Structure 1
Amino acid sequence: MIVRSFADITDTDRHVRSRSGTWESKRIVLAKENVGFSLHETTVFAGTETSMWYAN
């Protein structure tokens, strides 16, 4: 079992921020951990515009 908090992720390589400063993503579970899925929380900040593309 993986137990991980946002405090464990913040300011690590799992905490990704856009160069433009419009969003950030906290990668909680990564595909390389071989649990069959990945999980992240992405925050798009209010008052900003962001173009996104999610490939399948």
Structure 2
Amino acid sequence: MIVRRLDEANKTERRIVSPDSNWESTRLLLKDDKMGFSFHVTTIYEGADFQMHYQNHLESVYCMSGEGEVQTLDDGKVYPIHPGTLYILDQHDKHVLRAFKEMKMACVFNPPLNGKEVHNAEGAYELTAESVAD
């Protein structure tokens, strides 16, 4: 069994802050845990407005707190996000995420992340980031 606490993980290398200061993410479950997916608690800072395109991963995102929206760029549809909303990027959807109030999100990635990933120029995570040690 694996047991981790968010407050403890926040004090380790598992907490990653984006270089563009849009978000921070604490990666509680990673590839090295051999579960087949990774699990993160991510904070999207108020006022953040940025494009992502996970070409190498599928992602599910559950909003625990805050308010914002996600817009799919292929069709321009805008989906409001508030606590209790789950959105699923099941088609490697190119999208824009906007936070009107700071949002706390629970995120699942498949394949799992290694731990050090930040978005590249296309808004994707690479598959080759170095692993985080416990």
Shorter-normalised TM-score: what interval?
0.7 to 0.9
Structure-1 residue corresponding to 2:25: 25
Alignment of 1:31-42 (within 5 A): 31-42=31-42
Deviations 1:13-39 (A, max 9, x none): 110001121101110100111122211
- TM-score of the two chains, using structure 1 as the length reference: 0.80
Deviations 1:1-56 (A, max 9, x none): 11111112113111000112110111010011112221112221111212222123
Structure-1 residue corresponding to 2:4: 4
Structure number with higher helix proportion: 1
Please tell me whether Structure 1 or Structure 2 has the larger radius of gyration of its CA atoms.
Answer: 2
- TM-score of the two chains, using structure 2 as the length reference: 0.38
Query: Structure 1: which 5+ runs fail to align?
Result: none
Query: Structure 2: which 5+ runs fail to align?
Result: 58-134
When the two chains are superposed, the root-mean-square deviation of aligned CA atoms in Å is: 1.4
The percent identity for this pair of structures is 38
How many pairs align?
56
Structure number with higher strand proportion: 2
Following TM superposition, the consecutive aligned residue runs of length 4 or more in structure 1 with deviations greater than 3 angstroms are none
